[in-house]
Amino acid sequence: MKALITGAKGQLGRGLIVAAPAGWTIEAIDLAELDLTDAAAVRAHVLASAPDVVLNAAAHTAVDKAESEEELALAINAGAVAAIAGALKDTGGRLVHVSTDFVFDGTCPRAYRPNDARNPLSAYGRTKAAGEDAAGAGATIVRTAWVYTAGGANFVRTMLRVMRERDEVRVVADQIGAPTWAPGLAQVLWGLVGAGATGTFHHSDAGVASWYDFAVAIQEEALALGLLDKAVPVLPICTADYPTPAVRPAFSLLDSSATRAVLGDQPVHWRVNLRKMLEEEKALG
């Protein structure tokens, strides 16, 4: 069996390569190997590769930049997906496509289920919703949120840096969701491939947090591991106190119970996975 992994140098892409089950041949590509804004080139590459599965971990994820470059984001987040899906129809392969909690508007009174109505508030959310539509009915779509991993560009590593550099840190406390450790997400994607599951699924780590809660936990765990020398005040602020070009959902917790039912497992709490990530971060030096 052959899998084509896009976004291979990203946080999830690297996790997918490491987590690949025995017996799979992996072709891993990133922007250097394939321009995702060129739909014709994307289609030609998939046709030539003829994989059994494409795990599409590539995306334009710069949420605020997408507000001023929505056309570019749309080309990557939807145009490339349409090209992959179209080629796979010809070759008979399957598409596993990664999407986001940003397709929701944050007004739901409970965790979002896969069949809940979408209403994206940002250009990023709109282009990712378009990508879900482009993936087609036979695809496996997995929405996730707040992805991070050791060595990556993410909130955890940003917090570690600013906690070393500043006397205090201010973090938004009125955006609620749950973090997702990329290696765990990679295992879920491969699990859904193995189960032959199609349709839309959700995955994030267990538990609930605000970005403020996440930052507090990062400092506590990093201090315990010796990644930080001293504690600094972490102060909760409102979204209105930290304006950004893109509007973010205030509540985007994902209900992953359908995913758990397919995989027959239990989710790991986000704080447990945060500790694992920080241990790996310490090992990286």
Query: What pLDDT is recorded for position 31?
Result: 84
Query: Residues 261, 192: contact at Cβ < 8 Å?
Result: no
Kindly report whether the global pTM for this prediction surpasses the value 0.75: yes
Kindly state the tokens that stand for 117.
């109505």
Query: Residues 11, 154: contact at Cβ < 8 Å?
Result: yes
Which tens digits make up the pLDDT trace of 17-76? 999 999 999 999 998 889 999 999 999 999 999 999 999 999 999 999 999 999 999 999
How far is it, in rounded angstroms, from Cα 170 to Cα 104?
Answer: 26
Query: Which residue has tokens 């990644």?
Result: 227
Which tens digits make up the pLDDT trace of 185-244? 999 999 999 999 999 999 999 999 999 999 999 999 999 999 999 999 999 999 999 999
At 236, give phi and psi (nearest 5°). Answer: -75, 135
Query: What pLDDT is recorded for position 237?
Result: 97
Which tens digits make up the pLDDT trace of 69-95? 999 999 999 999 999 999 999 999 999
- What's the chain's average pLDDT? 97
| Residue of 158, 173, 145 whose CA lies nearest to 219 | 158
Strand partners, 234: 169
- Ordered structural domains, the chain, with CATH: 2-145+178-206+248-267 (3.40.50.720)
Query: Residues 34, 205: contact at Cβ < 8 Å?
Result: no
Kindly state the tokens that stand for 100.
């986001």
Query: Residues 246, 64: contact at Cβ < 8 Å?
Result: yes
Catalytic residues: 124
How far is it, in rounded angstroms, from Cα 88 to Cα 136?
Answer: 11
